[in-house]
Amino acid sequence: MSTPMKTTVATTWLDGCSGCHMSFLDMDERLVDLAQRVDIVYSPLVDTKTLPDQVDVGILEGSISSDEDLEKAKAFRKHCKLLISLGDCAVNGNVPAIRNHFKLDDVMDRAYRENVSLQPQIPTRSVPTLLETVRPIHAEVKVDVFVPGCPPHADAIWYVLSELIAGRTPDPSKVTRFGA
Amino acid sequence: MPLPVTPPNIRVVTLKIDDQDLSAREDETIIEVCRENAIPIPSLCYLDGLSVWGGCRLCMVEIAGQGRLAAACSTRVTEGMEVRTSTERLQRYRRTIVEMLFAERNHVCSVCVSNGHCELQTMGQSCGVDHVRVPYRQTPYPVDSSHEMFRLDHNRCILCTRCVRVCDEIEGAHTWDVMGRGSDCRVITDLALPWGESETCTSCGKCVQVCPTGALVKQGTSAGEMVKDQHFLPILARRRHAR
Amino acid sequence: MHLEELAEKAAEFKAEDAHVEHEVRVCMAASCQSSGAAQVMDALDKAKGDGQPACKVKGVGCMGLCSAGPLVAVADKEADLAGSVLYRDVAPEDAADILGSVGGSPVERLRCPTDQPFFARQRKIVLENSGIIDPNSFKGYVAAGGYASLVQALSEMTPADVLREITASGLRGRGGGGYPTGLKWSTVAKMPGEQKYVICNADEGDPGAFMDRAVLESDPHRVLEGMAIAAYAVGASKAYIYVRAEYPLAVERLQNAIRKAKRAGFLGNKIADTQFSFEVEIRLGAGAFVCGEETALMASIEGLRGQPRPRPPYPAESGLWGCPTLINNVESFANIAPIVREGGDWFASIGTEKSKGTKVFALAGKIANTGLIEVPMGTTLRDIIEVIGGGIPDGKTFKAVQTGGPSGGCIPEAHLDMPVDYDSLKTLGTMMGSGGMIVMDETSSMVDVARYFMEFCMTESCGKCVPCRTGTYQMHGILDKLTKSQASRDDLALLEDLCEVVQATSLCGLGQTAPNPVLSTLRYFRQEYEEKLQGETGA
């Protein structure tokens, strides 16, 4: 059943709790419907390990907190025709950005020394380097559609995707808001 | 500061707001006439029962024949006035102002006790603020939990001064005031003492109820639990006024 | 008291100095004092001792050419500045030479020609006594014809007569807005109410502006006289001078003037034997720029937090403590006595069709002659900068002149032939402001200039209204990025959006005009912004 008309969608999570992806899954039986119309070509929810060159819709959850987040965001921007900021962390920094009120060194100390009883040490290998300031996605790359909410309700995600697939420009503020 | 006391012989004028023909007493402000007639005018500092502040600038409207915009809260109606409350331009301005408010302090809606019951949050949605274009200011402010019943979180304060006004004008305690300048302004109790040490605070809680955001809340509330009730205000204000 | 009696008094005061033939006038205004005028004055006093009885060493107010201070003028008693021998950059060691030259040939090595355009092209009304009389001497002011206008108004004119003259003069508010003074006075006069107030706004806060300071330091009685006439015209009996605490010398001289005027019966009860009573009190500003805004200023006088409130009601209707209040700035009041003396028509004959009289400007920045000048309205910017100001020093070329302080804008070379008046400057996207002119040469970056003024507005925002409080912060952030070449084209677009919002929605003049330095530099020097851009979208 080849369907060249299907909209290709890529998703990933940056600095977030993956709750927005859970909300995505909360579309329940509508996912079946969605699967007729979209191809998820890259996502933590599927097995593909590489982002294809050309994707119709990119969905980013989470804020940009590390160099790896930044690279992923840039890659999504480069390869996706349309980029969606999904959820408050992506849209406004939300909970991850609360650490902006502290010095990065203090944050690291708190996480890896003060609260650790066994061999406290700050990791240096195979973990991404944190950026000084946590930023929303659009502070680093251009974003086309913003879907605030913590997490955005499955209905809101369904509405936005349906509108996009139908070729219309969704107005998410009708269905969701900061903190929703 | 209150508008000056109105002369006793009040006339009634007719005016147009968004093409609607309306009549109003000439001592009424545009926002009062709009609220009476269910014409939505956004505002975060205006509150029926308190003196006019004119600080949030969200109620700016266009008046035919006037070059400058007027704040609906501090502009009286006049005969034949033609007001537009929601032009494309006004919507754009309002959206920008709300965005700048969100960027000014640390409004993290998802973990706020006022989540879902916050006037700033609702305003953001109704103004179409789905993201904030300006950079966040990222300046931390302290939280004052010294009062046994209430809590003050400066990070969520939008400096509307409703607390200052209700405390001064309705409760008569004048516990609250403002210190500092620019974005570093802070509402303070007494002479910037911890709230719990305030000798003037009567713990009446009116400030908490009129606060539009999660800046002033009850102790012991968790995310989304702080629901405010402002019904008392116009009733009390009218009783005070009648006296 | 009638004019004749006052004239007798004046003659009496003059007679006290009958033995004096020459005066050695030392500028004792703040600028010359900062370069050592007080020491020069001391040296002159010491060197003179009891000798040369026909020569008097006298401290006077500002002579204008501040860049050449300390200034000392040797003059025949009745001579004005043009008729005197002026010395520049005088040091205490020069005292003997200067005293030796009195009545003889001038000390050529110190001479500063008074026929140069800086002096010759000025027309002095506000500053007519400045640099000639001793600002601390009540007698000196009266001897120079002072308080004659007040006595004339009280004894020969009704308040309506005074209003007529002021209206006929076409005087417009010198604080910057240019509101017709006569109209303002008439409005306050017509307002019902037992208690009315007069306020003199001396909270001069624009960077680079020092006109009001000079007037207060050089001729404080003239301001008091103008205020008293105003109070008589509008029916007020109480006045405040709101002066910034950063002007200690002006405050001291004002206090001295108030004390002496009171003792002589020109302030207080039953002035000049009429029923008119008038009290003046000084209130010191505590360093907030916004307190120059009239409603914030009044709040401050009332002892409240210095922040503006929505207008209307205007102060004329509901001002200080809810009473009708007339509020004008220093220079406006300083124009009143000459208008009453010479008549409104005389004043209206000076200047342009819509901007009458003269205007005092403070020249600062990259200009040869920094200092204070007074020229007729309608003088071109080119005349002011290139002729009177002596052009740009160090062989550099002119780039822009900033007028109107943080509320004003920058004017480029192409518009230098514009006559200076309220309306012309508005069409250029700037404003008259209180009279500060900051000249910039080719080395100045206009983006830096815009950032500087935005920082000023951000720091001085009172915090009451959201657009000004948060908008100046955000605009400053973008300008800061621009100066570091880190801003994108999107940032620039956002900056322009913010300018529009802040201009249209701010509560008071400070916020409404805060974008002007950005807008005007964008209008005339957009290229400089473009050169700083890094890419299309945010960093």
Q: Would you say the CATH fold of B98-242 matches that of B12-86?
A: no
Rounded to a whole number of angstroms, the distance from the CA of C537 to the nearest CA of chain A is 7
**Residue A1 pLDDT > 90:** no
Q: Which of A101, A102, A138 sits opposite B131 (nearest CB)?
A: A138
CA distance A150 to B115: 11
**Residue C324 pLDDT > 50:** yes
Instruction: With beta carbons less than 8 A apart as the criterion, state whether C499 and C481 touch.
Output: no
Fold of B12-86: Ubiquitin-like (UB roll) (3.10.20)
**Contact partners, residue C29, CB within 8 Å, separation at least 6:** C61, C62, C213, C214, C217, C218, C249
**Contact partners, residue C112, CB within 8 Å, separation at least 6:** C65, C68, C71, C86, C87, C88
Instruction: With beta carbons less than 8 A apart as the criterion, state whether C539 and C486 touch.
Output: yes
Q: Are residues C198 and C257 in the same domain?
A: yes
Contacts with B143 from chain A: Cβ below 8 Å: none
pLDDT at residue number B172: 94
Q: For the segment B148-203, what is each residue's pLDDT rounded down to a tens digit?
A: 999 999 999 999 999 999 999 999 999 999 999 999 999 999 999 999 999 999 99
Contacts with B111 from chain A: Cβ below 8 Å: 95
Rounded to a whole number of angstroms, the distance from the CA of A140 to the nearest CA of chain C is 6
pLDDT at residue number C52: 82
Find the CATH number of the domain harbouring C528: 1.20.1440.230
pLDDT at residue number B9: 81
B110 inside 8 A of chain A by CB: yes
Confidence of residue A126 (pLDDT cuts 50, 70, 90): confident
**CA B22 distance to own-chain centroid:** 25
Instruction: Classify the C-alpha dihedral C481-C482-C483-C484 as positive or negative.
Output: positive
Give the containing element (helix H, strand E) for C166: helix C159-169
Q: Are residues C230 and C281 in the same domain?
A: yes
Given C326, C348, C370, which residue is the final one in a domain? C348
pLDDT at residue number C539: 43
Q: Are residues C216 and C364 in the same domain?
A: no
Contacts with A85 from chain B: Cβ below 8 Å: 131
Confidence of residue B4 (pLDDT cuts 50, 70, 90): low
B2 inside 8 A of chain A by CB: no
Q: What is the ipTM of this complex?
A: 0.94
**Residue C347 pLDDT > 70:** yes
C512 within domain boundaries? yes
Q: Where are the domains of chain B?
A: 12-86, 98-242
Given C114, C129, C155, which residue is the final one in a domain? C114
Count of pairs with CB atoms under 8 A, one residue in A, one in B = 68
**Residue C393 pLDDT > 90:** yes
pLDDT at residue number C252: 96
**Residue C409 pLDDT > 70:** yes
C153 within domain boundaries? yes
With CB atoms and an 8 Å threshold, state whether B183 touches C318: no
From the candidates B108, B117, B119, B143, which should be mutated to test the interface with A, based on the most A CB atoms within 10 A?
A: B108
A132 inside 8 A of chain C by CB: no
Q: For the segment C451-496, what is each residue's pLDDT rounded down to a tens digit?
A: 999 999 999 999 999 999 999 999 999 999 999 999 999 999 999 9
User: Helix, strand, or coil here: C499?
Assistant: helix
Count of pairs with CB atoms under 8 A, one residue in B, one in C = 103
Domain of residue C160 covers: 146-348
Find the CATH number of the domain harbouring C313: 3.40.50.11540
C504 inside 8 A of chain B by CB: yes
C9 within domain boundaries? no
- Mean per-residue pLDDT for C377-390? 95
Neighbours of chain C (3+ CB pairs under 8 A): A, B
pLDDT at residue number B7: 59
Contacts with C497 from chain B: Cβ below 8 Å: 96
Instruction: Give percent above pLDDT 90 in chain C.
Output: 86
C528 within domain boundaries? yes
Q: How many domains does chain C have?
A: 4
With CB atoms and an 8 Å threshold, state whether A143 touches B128: no
C46 within domain boundaries? yes
Give the containing element (helix H, strand E) for B187: strand B186-189
CA distances for C336 relative to A120, C159, C231, angstroms: 79, 14, 12
What are the beta bridge partners of residue B60? B71
CA distances for C47 relative to A110, C98, C388, angstroms: 74, 10, 35
Q: Which residue has the tokens 């916020």?
A: C511
From the candidates A64, A74, A142, which should be mutated to test the interface with C, based on the most C CB atoms within 10 A?
A: A142
Given C92, C114, C136, which residue is the final one in a domain? C114
C54 inside 8 A of chain A by CB: no
**Contact partners, residue B239, CB within 8 Å, separation at least 6:** none
With CB atoms and an 8 Å threshold, state whether B55 touches C465: yes
With CB atoms and an 8 Å threshold, state whether A142 touches C539: no
Rounded to a whole number of angstroms, the distance from the CA of B128 to the nearest CA of chain C is 16
With CB atoms and an 8 Å threshold, state whether C537 touches A139: no
Instruction: With beta carbons less than 8 A apart as the criterion, state whether C17 and C77 touch.
Output: yes
Contacts with C469 from chain B: Cβ below 8 Å: 104, 159, 182-183, 185
CATH number for B98-242: choose from 3.30.70.20, 3.30.70.920, 1.10.274.10, 3.40.710.10: 3.30.70.20
CATH class of A7-98+132-174: alpha beta
B185 inside 8 A of chain C by CB: yes
Identify which has the larger pLDDT, C79 or B8.
Answer: C79
With CB atoms and an 8 Å threshold, state whether B97 touches C467: yes
Instruction: At B64, list the tokens.
Output: 């035919």
Rounded to a whole number of angstroms, the distance from the CA of B190 to the nearest CA of chain A is 27
**Residue C512 pLDDT > 80:** yes
C403 within domain boundaries? yes
